[in-house]
Structure 1
Amino acid sequence: MQELRAIYRDLSTAHVADACMRVGVPVRCAPSGLHPVLPGAHVVGRALPAQHSGSVDVFLEALEHAVPGDVLVVDDGGRADRACVGDLVALEAARAGLAGIVIWGLHRDTRELCEIGLPVLSLGTSPSGPASVEPQPPDALEVARLGEHAVTRDDLVLADDDGAILVPLARASDVAEAAASIRDTERRQAAAMRAGTSLREQVRFRDYLDARRDRGIGFREHLRDVGGAIEE
């Protein structure tokens, strides 16, 4: 796991999303409204799921089984009427060595979270905490949801300023290899653009227009022929 985390530290969620498409892994992104409390966040680690039912005890119980480097994935059903994570949970997670917290729901204590420094991503903020407590589901520590996607201990979580993405641990190495190739290609393209070679020149865009007219090929097919990496 430590080696995987090291590999993913230099990959973005965008690289990984494109890589998933390239290697045939379903793209499982968190809802688009998910953002980090502090810009510049980069979180990678094994998922530590927890379903919130109105009490922080589920988070404390999850931390009993945590391994340093895990990412706490909090399922509050995407609720917009209450916050489910605040400064005390974040501080406890930081003390346990977690890499970050990803919340399908809201957070509060924003100033304190910024001071703690543990990366936290959520759908937004609310000063209000839970008004009631419901029974904890039997699988509360086994699976959490991020939007339409189920998250388990078999998933790697990668999160940054663009959101969060889930990768099955069983395919994480394959995805990382493809993502690194995409990243390196895009960096070469950006460097060439700064040196004076336009992106259209690099991808031989006029050749593509001719091929589209004569052979009806799509742009993605053309990019694969010339080694481009803009689209998958």
Structure 2
Amino acid sequence: MTRVVLATRNHHKVEELREILADVCEELGLDIVGLDEFPDAPDVVEDGVTFAQNAALKARSAAEATGLPALADDSGLAVDVLGGAPGIFSARWSATKGPGADRANLELLLAQLGDVREEHRGAAFVCAAALVLPDGRSAVELGRFPGRMAHEARGTGGFGYDPIFIPDDQPDPGGQRTLAEYTPDEKNGRSHRYLAFRALAPRLRELLRP
């Protein structure tokens, strides 16, 4: 087996990616592990100005620290009428830190969109997935999950902006559910993270084939 490190210490993200790339891992003999197996790996300052730059920064740091091929992702919400904001600042849009940050970010964004008409509430969750090899070769792909912004929060699943995002790709035509009202299986099979890593799969086959 060839180990590939995912630049996260979140075990759930590692398990999710193993499922997303299950066919690729089986075909190429890959074992995806997290940075929790490498306690000396440094944290990365995400000072890129795009999702792709931040994903590549994290993957490159992980590859250098571990000597293994490394994967990373960076994602956020892009609202059309805000010119793509919050974008890379999605996690810190309200400047609130700690357990209440998600709710503060959501409420601030709802307030900013309060007078925006329905036809101008388009948005998308965007994810960049990056692969960096120890020899410097790299690849980055984007996943975009389109939808529109709700007028109020609904649902208890998911996290972040999920309760105010209504996906265009509803399992039931014309559905109005927010992403926080999706089941985990519905969300994971069509999310921006899923789309980004599936787009990266051909490059994994190209660069990591034994």
Normalised-by-shorter TM-score class: under 0.3
- Larger RCO (CA within 8 A; separation ≥ 6): 1
Larger Rg: 1
**TM-score (ref. length: structure 1):** 0.23
